[in-house]
């Protein structure tokens, strides 16, 4: 960001001047499209909460298991060495979305940080080339994708989407995955910022009190997940047997609480407290507002854990991190495809906030089956739906399945 733009008093510009300066800033960032950047070294203190580097470089069996626990996925292929050794993979592998445990975000750092601009996660695209395995040691780099404006009608703000692909490269110089993070920025000029709460999408959100019948349905589903009765597992799902339009049996997640939020945080987020937390936010305090009760700044991520913090940021309740919603969705797919399937890609969009106190039923449908570059693929649409029937996250997942002919040939070799 140029010194000229950095020194502007954004809050006191006219609406037209504010938009002119915003366009200048966006154009300045977009000049860097296609540039690459390495994250900060792991030993450095993070002085920008959005500028993220390596969280866990080394994949271990314990880390994979903890990650599966954070997803709520008891599949033995993620956690039981004896079981996993007997699969086609020959050992424990990690679930899709595990790359967020290695690192999450980008080194470009959520760049549009000026007064009047609110940033939200917009979902991620995940591309996989090989499974993550214990013993792999990763480094990452980012390729800047820049900003695109999306037209919105009848809103006081302009909306931009920023994308940054992050490449995950192991010690053999193999690119195992690419995770393209997307941020939504809602940019509101000074004269249009006073929007009444009654117009907010969530102004009438109230916590749902679950009936015993609703809780029993969730707990029964949990028991089935633990028992493995809904999981395909070692029973191979052949591509020939897949039927387009097939509905996938729903999977329960929730009622979401702070324990679920913390389980995700400790394995796939950057955890720091006290002085280290201060270092991450001190240069960007306008993104970490003061708590009216204590006077101290609240770390922005607090709105994922605490209702009071969420209300300081303008949300009615603490809300689920977008990546955790994606983790919940992919669990349905890995259960459905079985041990022999491989998730090649997952493209997710955050549609609404998912709040602590909400339950999610993950639902899915086979959209199509096709052959591409000699691979037999299935496209599955999955979505997370809360107890009120509101869809908060959607994803399109492409799965590679084996054919009966391939399996017979491999059986002869064995």
Tens-digit pLDDT profile for residues 151-194: 999 889 999 999 999 999 999 999 999 999 999 999 999 998 87
What DSSP line would sit under 33-70, residue for residue? Answer: TT-EEPPPPTTSPPSSTTB---S--B--HHHHHHHHHH
**Facing residues of 37 across strands?**
142
The pLDDT score that the predictor gives to residue 229 is 95
Which of helix, strand or coil describes residue 181?
A: strand
Rounded Cα distance between 401 and 375, Å, is: 8
198: confidence class by pLDDT, cuts 50, 70, 90: very low
Higher confidence at residue 8 or residue 225?
225
The pLDDT score that the predictor gives to residue 411 is 56
Higher confidence at residue 164 or residue 284?
164
Q: Is residue 247 a contact partner of residue 383, using CB atoms and an 8 Å limit? A: no
The pLDDT score that the predictor gives to residue 3 is 55
CA 211 to chain centre: 30
Determine phi and psi for 107, rounding to 5 degrees.
-80, -5
Rounded Cα distance between 130 and 346, Å, is: 14
Q: Which domains does the chain have, with CATH numbers?
A: 1-59+94-195 (3.10.129)
pLDDT in tens, 89-141: 999 999 999 999 999 889 887 788 888 898 888 889 999 999 999 999 999 99
What DSSP line would sit under 325-367, residue for residue? Answer: HHHHHHHHHHHHH-TT-EEEEEEEEE-S--BTT--EEEEEEEE
Q: Taking Cα atoms as reference points, which of 10, 99, 11, 15 lies closest to residue 57? A: 99
Share of the chain above pLDDT 70, in %: 96
pTM tops 0.95, yes or no: no
Widest distance between CA atoms in the chain: 75
Lowest-pLDDT range of 40-49, 248-257, 308-317, 344-353: 40-49
pLDDT in tens, 38-75: 998 888 887 777 778 899 999 999 999 999 999 999 99
410: confidence class by pLDDT, cuts 50, 70, 90: low
Mean pLDDT of the chain: 92
Question: Radius of gyration over alpha carbons of the chain, in Å?
Answer: 22
Q: Residues near 294 by Cβ (< 8 Å), separated by ≥ 6?
A: none
Reply yes or no on whether the pLDDT at 412 is more than 50: no
Q: Is residue 327 a contact partner of residue 71, using CB atoms and an 8 Å limit? A: yes
């Amino acid at each position: 960001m140029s010194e000229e733009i950095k020194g502007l008093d954004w809050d006191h510009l006219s609406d037209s001047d504010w938009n002119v300066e915003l366009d200048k800033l966006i154009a300045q960032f977009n000049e860097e499209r296609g540039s690459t950047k390495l994250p900060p070294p792991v030993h450095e203190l993070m002085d920008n909460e959005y500028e993220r580097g390596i969280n866990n470089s080394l994949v271990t069996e314990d880390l994979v298991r903890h990650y599966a626990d954070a997803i709520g996925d008891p599949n033995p292929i993620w956690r039981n060495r004896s079981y996993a050794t007997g699969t086609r993979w020959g050992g424990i592998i990690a679930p899709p979305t595990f790359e967020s445990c290695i690192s999450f975000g980008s080194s470009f750092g959520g760049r549009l940080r000026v007064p009047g601009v609110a940033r939200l996660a917009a979902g991620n695209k995940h591309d996989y080339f090989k499974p993550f395995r214990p013993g792999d040691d990763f480094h990452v780099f980012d390729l800047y994708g820049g900003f695109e404006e999306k037209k919105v009608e009848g809103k006081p703000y302009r909306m931009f989407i920023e994308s940054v692909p992050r490449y995950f490269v192991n010690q053999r110089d193999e690119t195992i995955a690419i995770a393209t993070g997307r941020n939504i920025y809602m940019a509101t000029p000074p004269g249009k910022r006073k929007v009444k709460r009654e117009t907010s999408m969530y102004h009438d959100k109230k916590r749902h009190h679950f009936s015993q019948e609703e809780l029993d349905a969730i707990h029964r589903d949990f028991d089935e997940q633990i028992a493995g009765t809904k999981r395909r597992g070692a029973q191979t799902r052949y591509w020939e047997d897949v039927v387009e339009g097939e509905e996938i049996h729903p999977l329960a997640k929730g009622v979401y609480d702070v324990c679920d939020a913390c389980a995700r945080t400790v394995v796939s987020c950057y955890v720091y407290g006290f002085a280290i937390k201060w270092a991450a936010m001190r240069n960007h305090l306008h993104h970490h507002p003061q708590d009216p009760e204590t006077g101290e700044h609240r770390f922005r991520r607090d709105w994922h854990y605490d209702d009071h913090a969420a209300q300081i940021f303008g949300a009615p309740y603490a809300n689920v991190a977008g990546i955790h919603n994606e983790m919940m969705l992919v669990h349905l797919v890995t259960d459905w495809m079985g041990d022999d399937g491989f998730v090649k890609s997952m493209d997710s969009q955050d549609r609404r906030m998912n709040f602590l106190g909400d339950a999610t039923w993950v639902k899915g449908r086979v959209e199509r089956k096709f052959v591409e570059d000699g691979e037999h693929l299935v496209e599955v649409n999955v979505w997370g739906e809360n107890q009120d029937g509101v869809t908060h996250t959607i994803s399109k997942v492409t799965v590679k399945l084996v054919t009966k002919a391939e399996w017979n040939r491999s059986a002869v070799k064995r």
